[in-house]
A and B are shown apart, each in its own frame.
Chain A
């Protein structure tokens, strides 16, 4: 036997009926499209957006190519901080509501960095 680990196919006694059907476990990097250039993983710290189902310690997969949409959660650079915030459009202007802060119009020192695309929680 070589160094190859047992995959459910090569048995020593009875021939495995699965040998022509063996498949790999699903690849979560594929599912989350982590190889695409616009996809980045970031880590959440703080529970300010628990109401939106986002907990401290969660990994968010974000998309820097996605268009901003009203009511959606984004990652933003805001006054020197990296924050999670809700975006809203009011009368043609964009507003940002960072967790634990009042809504404010997007000004010079704010940049929408990416839109949230998926969430990974390793401990439930």
Chain B
């Protein structure tokens, strides 16, 4: 039996855990660069703020006065996600971190709704994060039960779809697009055939679902009918690509700033690659102007193969050389990125007969770099091409402290 534990308005709940002035108020968390709303408190949802609402366009609307908009603080959210995972691991034999705010758990025969309610209370007490838990014989059912638990006030945050009566009642009430894996296109097709509720979808013959929504849809359909197709997976599958792309906090107009931004992206991409014990065999570099303003759009992009490496300095070299040849002055660039589309295990990376650098030396240097950054905080040591506070860095005008990971940012307690 599967359980899905989902943090309610997770990013907002993380902010509220350390700041009592946010409790009971409409609070939203903005995406990178303070762009759109990516998490909303119940009060903010009640005001009509939509997911993805572009905040600098809507913030002046009179009904949104009094809304508190926080920049995203991923150092905090990551650590709080870890804490939720740890608490769940104290209560369940196996926990799959599916996303930063959703964890699948393995429920034994004895652990059902009441047990989950106790765990939920414990997660709340320890991490201050409110959660809902959905229970079902398949992942798709657990996920649907979780949604149902969120909307039904009388369930105390836990819905158990292994209970036939509750599942049937929910299937009749829930619209078909609430199902995990049923997107807008599938919803339109289904509605066209007169299928509006989960119950109607579950009752369709499997063959017609396959015709309508391919084999993935058929799997979703089987899972809804209690046939488990998706097992609990405890290790993420090997990464196939790494990408670091960022919109600039303000437009980049000089080569020096562009080179620095790309060097920072290349360095971060290399870090990610090393973290997974991989090496990059190819590089893709791009930068472009703002597609939404009046100036003509310019987009430069280049991909090429390289000798497999995870060395920050080597990747920075490749990226800047390519970018230099793509650079066109006199424009206002809005975004740049480095993508490593082809990754291999470092142990099995093909080695050139005559390598262009000292592989062992590079590995040692990078290990030292990573361990310093792990010990003293990200960005403690970086390649010389990157300044500490570059002018193009993303906007984060209302960033909360990193309460749980930095000694200088600890929550202040008044005495």
B153 within 8 A of A: no
A40: B residues at CB distance < 8 A = 403-404, 411
Q: Check if B413 sits within 8 Å of A60, measured CB to CB.
A: yes
Q: A42-B410, A80-B20 are in contact. Are A49 and B415 (CB under 8 A)?
A: yes
Cα A36 to Cα B404 in complex, Å, equals 12
B212 within 8 A of A: no
B407 within 8 A of A: yes
Q: Check if A42 sits within 8 Å of B413, measured CB to CB.
A: yes
In the complex, which residue of chain B has the Cβ closest to the Cβ of A55?
B415
Q: Check if B415 sits within 8 Å of A45, measured CB to CB.
A: yes
Of B410, B412, B415, which is within 8 A of A54 by CB?
B415
Cα A46 to Cα B407 in complex, Å, equals 18
Cα A44 to Cα B415 in complex, Å, equals 7
A56 within 8 A of B: yes
Q: Which of B88-134 contact A (CB under 8 A)?
A: 122, 125-128
Cα A82 to Cα B128 in complex, Å, equals 14
A121: B residues at CB distance < 8 A = none
Q: Check if A41 sits within 8 Å of B23, measured CB to CB.
A: no
CB of B374, distance to nearest CB on chain A (Å): 13
What 1/0 flags go to A74-92 for Cβ under 8 Å of B?
0101101111100000000
In the complex, which residue of chain A has the Cβ closest to the Cβ of B411?
A42
B411: A residues at CB distance < 8 A = 40, 42-43, 82
A43: B residues at CB distance < 8 A = 410-413
B82: A residues at CB distance < 8 A = 37
Q: Check if A37 sits within 8 Å of B127, measured CB to CB.
A: yes
B208 within 8 A of A: no
Q: Check if A81 sits within 8 Å of B20, measured CB to CB.
A: yes
Interface bracket on B: 20 to 34
In the complex, which residue of chain A has the Cβ closest to the Cβ of B410?
A43
Cα A110 to Cα B18 in complex, Å, equals 14
Q: Check if B20 sits within 8 Å of A75, measured CB to CB.
A: no
In the complex, which residue of chain B has the Cβ closest to the Cβ of A79?
B20
A80: B residues at CB distance < 8 A = 20-21
B127: A residues at CB distance < 8 A = 37, 64
A99 within 8 A of B: yes
CB of A36, distance to nearest CB on chain B (Å): 7
B215: A residues at CB distance < 8 A = none
What 1/0 flags go to B71-95 for Cβ under 8 Å of A?
0000000000011101100000000
A22 within 8 A of B: no
Q: Which of A15-57 contact B (CB under 8 A)?
A: 36-38, 40-49, 54, 56
Cα A84 to Cα B414 in complex, Å, equals 6
B351 within 8 A of A: no
Q: Check if A3 sits within 8 Å of B364, measured CB to CB.
A: yes
Q: Check if B20 sits within 8 Å of A77, measured CB to CB.
A: yes
Q: A46-B415, A81-B20 are in contact. Are A41 and B410 (CB under 8 A)?
A: yes
In the complex, which residue of chain A has the Cβ closest to the Cβ of B408?
A43
Q: A43-B411, A99-B415 are in contact. Are A38 and B20 (CB under 8 A)?
A: no
Q: Check if B414 sits within 8 Å of A99, measured CB to CB.
A: yes
CB of A24, distance to nearest CB on chain B (Å): 13
B203 within 8 A of A: no
A82: B residues at CB distance < 8 A = 18, 20, 411-414
Q: Check if B415 sits within 8 Å of A56, measured CB to CB.
A: yes
In the complex, which residue of chain A has the Cβ closest to the Cβ of B23?
A77
Of B128, B364, B403, B410, which is within 8 A of A59 by CB?
B410
Cα A48 to Cα B127 in complex, Å, equals 27
Cα A54 to Cα B414 in complex, Å, equals 11
11 A-B contacts (beta carbon < 8 Å): A3-B364, A37-B87, A37-B126, A41-B404, A43-B412, A43-B413, A44-B415, A64-B127, A65-B122, A78-B20, A82-B18
A contacts, CB < 8 Å to B: 2-3, 36-38, 40-49, 54, 56, 59-60, 64-65, 75, 77-78, 80-84, 99-100, 111, 113
Sample of 11 more A-B contacts, CB < 8 Å, known A59-B407, A83-B414:
A37-B82, A37-B87, A42-B410, A45-B413, A56-B415, A80-B20, A82-B20, A82-B411, A82-B413, A84-B413, A84-B415
